[in-house]
Amino acid sequence: MSNGSVLKGLGIGVLMTVGGVMAGVITMTAVIGGVILLGIGLVQLVWIGPAYFHYRRAGEVETAKGLLIAAGLVFLLNASCWGVVMSGMIRIGG
């Protein structure tokens, strides 16, 4: 039985996140598009959570770890970008 691969999990996590961003861009006219794009670090739980539990139940614990690593990286990148914006280092909208 295979334990999966961390790289496989990272790849799946990145692809799922890119898909989520694309869904946010497509639905930007609706309020949900803004929520997806502005809070991608937290909203990704909607798609990473079920995938994590699926791979965990299937016995691919390394793949599940890769998914969590990808989600953590996206969360930290989003939080750091929001930190820069909120600190006033970058002015948005004028």
The tens digit of pLDDT for each residue in 58-72 reads: 999 999 999 999 999
How many domains would you assign to the chain? 1
- Does a structural domain hold residue 72? yes
Q: Are 78 and 40 in contact (CB under 8 A)?
A: yes
Q: Which domain does 43 fall in, by range?
A: 6-87
Tell me the average pLDDT across 31-54. 81
More confident residue, 44 or 36: 44
Average model confidence (pLDDT) for the chain?
84
Amino acid at site 12: I
Is pTM beyond 0.85? Reply is no
- Does a structural domain hold residue 35? yes
Burial zone of 31 (CB within 10 Å; 0-12 exposed, 13-18 middle, 19+ buried): exposed
The tens digit of pLDDT for each residue in 13-25 reads: 999 999 988 887 7
